[in-house]
Amino acid sequence: MGNLCKKLMMLLHSRLTLTALIFAGILGMGMACNKKETSGEGSFNPTPMVFVKPINLPEPTYNFTTEQPTKEGFALGRKLFYDERLSDDNTISCGSCHKASAAFADPGVALSPGVRKQVGIRNSTTIMNVAWNADFFWDGRATHLNDQPISPIHNPLEMNESIANVVKKIKDDATYKSMFYKAYGTDVVDSVKILKSLGMFMAFANSYNSKFDRVQRNENSEKFTVTEQEGYVVFIKKCDPCHKGHLFTDNKFHINGLPPTDAKDSGRFVITRNINDLYLFKTPSLRNILYTAPYMHDGRFNTLDEVFTHYTKNAGLEVTNADRTRLKAFLATLTDSTFLNNKDFADPGN
């Protein structure tokens, strides 16, 4: 039936001289074919999801042109992100360790538990402006957003599952089949589309509507207070060399003076095996920093004051008491409540 439909439709396209009678007959058939193809699945007519680059940020690294994100792909990624079936015992989802209301960090938790309450050695990062990342994780072990989810799924301490088995678990689920159809025109669930959809979801988890952004873009003539402005001056001098520009990260690897308390974690060295990379970690963004404590790759600091004490003591970046007040006021302008409260990123309820 499918083949016959195709042949008839091709004929319709190629033979423009057909009589009105045949034409009408084929057209009716064509419509019937169409109906058959979409019955029970909904129609395949995905809506492109447009990315508009904010004027104060550079070009992203995620390629919105070739990835062609759609509302349907995003919805599928969102469902997968909150689905516990991505873990071996069906108890842990990506959202268990990454909370949307905290820029996808895990607030108050130094080391997020994975399956069977196991813990690793690293603090959950934010998932925020990852469309601008060239490297992912504290050590940069993934270099494309669509490859990144393989790591937590396979990690024995996190989800301890294989992507092939995830496919097995969800491939006959009627909701997923319908969502795959709507996003990709096929109800066959496969790992590439799972990863691509998670990538689409995360590529839109972007923060660029804080007071800082409005001031920089001169929106509504918003201005910094005197203390915030003084904080920005201190920040540019002491922190911007690594927490660079409007992304607040240079996306590079540094040692920020932290004494390695845990020799098990040698940072970037784990990936490169280059001795110069020992104890280097990727500079985290400081956007929404008031919501993402505890801080550093192992969550060792609970407050910004502890962070300032660290920089003063270990990194030769003296943060005076007056500077602390100024920096705190400035860092508070990086809170983006539009992003933190965006219901599009919340658990859709599986």
Q: Report helix angle 71-81 to 191-203, nearest 10.
A: 100
- Contact yes or no for 47/121 (Cβ under 8 A): no
State yes or no: residue 114 binds ligand HEC (CB under 6 A): yes
State yes or no: residue 327 binds ligand HEC (CB under 6 A): yes
Helix, strand and coil in the chain, % to nearest 5: 45, 5, 50
Whole-number Å distance between alpha carbons of 278 and 260: 10
Of 11-19, 62-70, 128-136, 177-185, the segment contacting ligand HEC by CB under 6 A is: 128-136
State yes or no: residue 295 binds ligand HEC (CB under 6 A): yes
State yes or no: residue 136 binds ligand HEC (CB under 6 A): yes
First to last CA, the chain: 35
Of 14-22, 29-37, 56-64, 277-285, the segment contacting ligand HEC by CB under 6 A is: 277-285
- Give the residue from 228, 202, 227 showing the smallest Cα distance to 215: 228
State yes or no: residue 122 binds ligand HEC (CB under 6 A): yes
- Contact yes or no for 82/348 (Cβ under 8 A): yes
Among 33, 179, 239, 247, binds ligand HEC (CB under 6 A): 239
Whole-number Å distance between alpha carbons of 291 and 266: 27
- Cβ neighbors of 99 (< 8 A, separation 6 or more) are 105, 106, 107
In angstroms, give the least distance from the CB of 185 to ligand HEC.
24
Of 16-24, 29-37, 120-128, 225-233, the segment contacting ligand HEC by CB under 6 A is: 120-128
- Contact yes or no for 251/263 (Cβ under 8 A): no
State yes or no: residue 170 binds ligand HEC (CB under 6 A): no
Amino acid at 248: F
Q: Is the peptide bond before 107 cis (omega within 30 degrees of 0)?
A: no
In angstroms, give the least distance from the CB of 8 to ligand HEC.
43
In angstroms, give the least distance from the CB of 27 to ligand HEC.
45
CB-nearer residue toward ligand HEC: 26 or 109: 109
Whole-number Å distance between alpha carbons of 348 and 276: 44
State yes or no: residue 292 binds ligand HEC (CB under 6 A): yes
State yes or no: residue 215 binds ligand HEC (CB under 6 A): no
Among 54, 241, 245, 348, binds ligand HEC (CB under 6 A): 241
State yes or no: residue 158 binds ligand HEC (CB under 6 A): yes
Among 33, 152, 288, 291, binds ligand HEC (CB under 6 A): 152
Look at the block and give the residue holding tokens 């799924």.
153
CB-nearer residue toward ligand HEC: 12 or 242: 242
State yes or no: residue 77 binds ligand HEC (CB under 6 A): no
Whole-number Å distance between alpha carbons of 54 and 57: 6
Whole-number Å distance between alpha carbons of 187 and 166: 15
Residues at the interface with ligand HEC (CB under 6 A) = 86, 92, 94, 96-98, 112, 114, 120, 122, 124-125, 127, 130, 133, 136-139, 148-149, 152-153, 158-159, 198, 202, 238-239, 241-243, 254, 256, 258, 281, 283-284, 286, 289, 292, 295-297, 307, 311, 317, 319, 327
